Amino acid sequence: MTSSGSRREREGRTPHALGASGSLMLLLLLAGACAPSDDADANIARGRGLKPASLPVSAQAAIYDAATRAAFDVGPGLDLLLHPLKLPRSAGYTGGDSVPHDLIAALRARNVVTGTCTPQRDTPRNTPRCPVNMAGYIIRASDVLRVGGDTVEVYYQAERFGPATGQRPEALRFEKIYQLVGSGTSWRVAREARVRDPEQ
């Protein structure tokens, strides 16, 4: 993982590739995550060996908010919608638990997202559409996972979407791992790493 203190070009405006050192750190992180564990972890690709953190909705919303601000230059010109399913713990993007309604409401109250969208695709690799009049990004995250002490981890995906009709923007999708430190509703990203898209 790279430290949040280093120079970072946020994905929402200037996508960037992870350098060689960042790739090495990501491999080390994933190697640690894949340490020997019981059979229940055999199919887990995201956060192997980690358990969901028991946190109130307000804290979860604050963590997703902090991850979003690490991924994007948040501002008036950026439209974000929430995928109604969390990222699955298994590899790929099929399935996932539903995002609870109270968490969706908390994210909207914090102005992280303006609504939800299940992406509509006409071909697998095309930019999906949402039933709205603007283009933007669909964001999707895993459960918040407890690393230890005051540190948590979340897998975070974003994908460009096009409006219901009209021209679609160029396809773009990325996934990152964020480790955050904090408590209550005060969290900051301490480390991040990019995850290779299993479908590309």
pLDDT, residue 4, reads 52
DSSP readout, the chain? Answer: -EETTS----TTTS-----HHHHHHHHHHHHHHTSS--GGGTT--SSTT-EE----HHHHHHHHHHHHHHHS--STT--EEE-SBPPPSSSSSS--PBPPHHHHHHHHHTTS-S-B---B-SSTTSPPB-SSSS-EEEEEE---EEEETTEEEEEEEEEEEB-SSS--PPP-EEEEEEEEEEETTEEEEEEEEEE--TT-
Alpha-carbon span 170 to 197, nearest angstrom:
17
Helix 57-71, helix 101-109: angle, nearest 10: 50
pLDDT of residue 75: 87
Q: Which residues of the chain have pLDDT under 70?
A: 2-40, 198-200
Q: How do residues 93-115 score in pLDDT, each as one tens digit?
A: 999 999 999 999 999 999 999 99
Rounded Cα gap, residues 184 and 14, in angstroms = 31
Nearest to 157 by CA among 196, 126, 188: 196
pLDDT at 198: 65
Distance CA 36, CA 79 (A): 41
pLDDT of amino acid 199: 65
